[in-house]
Amino acid sequence: MIFSFFQNNDYNSKIIKIDLFFIGFAIYYTVNGLFFDDDTMHKLYVTEGAFNIEYQLIKIFYSSLISMVLNNLFKLLSLTNSGIIELKENKSKDNIEIEKNNLERNIGIKSILYFILSFLFLLGFWYYIAMFGVIYKNTQIILLEDSLISFGLSLIYPFGICLLPGIFRIIALSKTKNKRKCLYNFSKFLQLF
């Protein structure tokens, strides 16, 4: 959320970052809706609509993983920061104009593809959620609660993922020489995620 609304010192379009935020929520909402099956409906009927976090936790976790993958695919299509930084850090001035034109063309193609795919996905999401809401009127609040929990997890998990490589690097600095390199390499591996 901070990335979408408050960070202005990168080379990503602010409109696309805000659009990613809202598409991300739509993805979480729809994927959570996909996990409402007959067993879930029966459990809701038995508990008279009470929200049972223990029963929903596994489904929330799986829907969060699927939604994160879809969000990362949309981010891959839409964010331009790394390409621009790579071009700016290019030391050789030989083919800079060609690389700039290639980058502009790639950004244009990725942006068009992003907007087409996001529009199609949003159209499908809207249709599915509208039909879900019409058919299962009494489960809309529970679906919203599940979606908010999943979306909240997606806002919290980056802190843990960013802390893990740092923790292993701190441990690597305090260990013997043989273990240092292994722990440092493991922290670099964790940083890829």
The domain spans of the chain are 2-158
- How crowded is residue 112: how many other Cβ atoms within 10 Å of its Cβ? 11
Cα dihedral value 170, 176, 179, 180, nearest 10: 40
pLDDT at 193: 61
Helices (H), the chain: 2-5, 14-34, 38-46, 53-78, 81-88, 96-135, 140-174, 177-191
Which residues have a Cβ under 8 Å from the Cβ of 82 and sit 6 or more positions away?
none
pLDDT at 124: 95
Cα–Cα distance, 112 to 117 (Å, whole number): 9
Quick check: 99 and 84 in contact, CB under 8 A?
A: no
Cα–Cα distance, 165 to 103 (Å, whole number): 31
Task: Determine the 3-state secondary structure of 115 from DSSP.
Answer: helix
pLDDT at 117: 92
Q: Interhelix angle for 140-174 vs 14-34, to 10°?
A: 110
pLDDT at 176: 66
Could you read off the pLDDT tens digit of each residue along the chain, which spans 193 residues? 455 666 667 777 788 888 888 998 999 999 988 988 878 777 777 877 676 777 778 888 888 889 888 988 888 888 877 777 777 777 676 777 777 888 889 888 988 999 999 999 999 999 999 998 898 887 888 888 888 888 888 888 778 777 888 887 787 777 666 667 777 777 777 766 6
pTM value is 0.76
pLDDT at 12: 76
Helices (H), 94-139: 96-135
